[in-house]
């Protein structure tokens, strides 16, 4: 299959027998990733910090996808010490893909922190997924050709990391800190791929972004999301440039399922990177800076205690002992 053609978002290939984990699968883009993957016959696990919301989401998927194999696990990316037990609770022998989708987006000050003392958005969106990847690696390696799919953001295209202030201690602006946390995720996804290849791993790492995805253009999934007639009509002009969250899920779904997708690639919407079917993009110039990616990798390992020694780099006694790292920068 061509990486840019012959892909129908409404007719996905069969994935029966495979197991996928979607973080933040109870709402937003993550919900639609989980719903679409469930239609392939795969087992889909929703990672959510709210068991109640996860139950609503699984019920919604089962109502729309007859015979859906979907369940949920409690997953709180803002609590690094909880991630190893969460992975154990998956109770699977292998994992064919994880979609790193969950995220926190704050609109207003004040600056908030995770329990380990990390800035909330950077700590949840980036560091939480770094630590989770470490614990998932044995399950991913047990699959024939597993994928780590990291969901970034179009907003990260115009941002740059401040490697001396990753936690926004000196200069905090919520929207910028969010975009930088997503940029950090994208750097990590690409650097992970380079280290996986150097280690000869069968796991691949792909980076995606949803373009412009608005609630007002998203089909209703009550009670998860309800779109009023007024919201739909007022958002109609925006549909020329952006799309709903159901379509924002398409790049991640293709990155999980399409055998033509390769590690180290960036996928997003076809039209100006904002809307349309999924296509491969050229990796953004600043994302291609390997020195930044390597420095971020080292900082992320230090901040989380993650141990990726099996794929080179990232080893430390804290991760090996299973201890939760303290706040430091």
Whether residue 223 has a cis bond before it, omega within 30° of 0: yes
Q: How is residue 174 written in tokens?
A: 């919520």
DSSP label at residue 119: B
First-to-last alpha carbon distance for the chain, in angstroms, is: 45
Rg of the chain (C-alpha set): 18
- Which of these is catalytic: 31, 172, 178, 187? 178
User: Active site includes 178?
Assistant: yes
Contact (CB, 8 A) for 264 and 193: yes
- Look at the block and give the residue holding tokens 């180290």: 264
- Look at residues 327, 328, 329 and name the one whose alpha carbon lies nearest to residue 116: 327
Long-range contacts formed by 300-303: CB under 8 A, 24+ apart: 300/126, 300/127, 300/130, 300/184, 300/188, 301/130, 302/328, 303/118, 303/127, 303/166, 303/328, 303/329
Contact (CB, 8 A) for 161 and 186: no
* CA angle (129 as vertex; 128, 130 as ends), nearest 5: 90
The helix or strand, by DSSP H or E, that contains position 295, with its residue range, turns out to be: helix 290-304
Q: Dihedral of CA 152/156/162/167: which sign?
A: negative
Point out the residues that are catalytic.
178
């Amino acid at each position: 299959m061509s990486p840019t053609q012959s892909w129908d978002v409404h007719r996905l290939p069969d994935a029966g027998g495979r197991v996928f984990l979607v973080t933040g699968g109870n709402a937003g883009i993550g919900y639609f990733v989980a719903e679409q993957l469930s239609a392939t016959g795969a087992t889909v696990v929703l990672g959510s910090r709210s068991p109640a919301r996860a139950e609503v989401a699984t019920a919604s998927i089962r109502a729309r996808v007859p015979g859906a194999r979907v369940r949920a696990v409690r997953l709180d990316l803002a609590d690094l010490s909880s991630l190893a037990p969460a992975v154990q609770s998956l109770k699977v022998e292998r994992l064919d893909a994880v979609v790193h989708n969950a995220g926190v987006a704050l609109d207003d000050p004040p600056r908030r922190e995770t329990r380990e003392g990390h800035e909330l958005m950077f700590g949840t969106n980036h560091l939480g997924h770094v630590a989770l990847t470490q614990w998932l690696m044995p399950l991913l390696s047990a699959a024939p050709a597993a994928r780590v799919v990291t969901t970034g953001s179009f907003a990260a295209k115009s941002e740059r990391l401040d490697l001396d202030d990753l936690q926004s201690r000196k200069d905090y602006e919520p929207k910028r800190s969010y975009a930088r946390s997503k940029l950090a995720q994208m750097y990590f996804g690409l650097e992970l791929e380079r280290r996986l290849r150097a280690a000869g791993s069968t796991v691949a790492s792909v980076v995606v972004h949803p373009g412009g995805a608005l609630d007002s253009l998203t089909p209703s999934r009550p009670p998860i999301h309800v779109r009023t007639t007024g919201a739909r009509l007022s958002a109609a002009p925006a549909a020329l440039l952006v799309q709903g969250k159901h379509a924002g899920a398409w790049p991640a779904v293709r990155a999980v399922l399409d055998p033509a997708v390769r590690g180290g690639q960036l996928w997003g919407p076809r039209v100006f990177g904002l809307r349309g079917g999924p296509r491969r993009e050229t990796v953004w110039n600043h994302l291609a800076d390997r020195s930044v990616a390597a420095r971020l990798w080292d900082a992320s390992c230090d901040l989380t205690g993650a141990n990726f020694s099996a794929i080179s780099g990232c080893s430390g006694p804290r991760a090996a002992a299973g201890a939760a790292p303290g706040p430091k920068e």
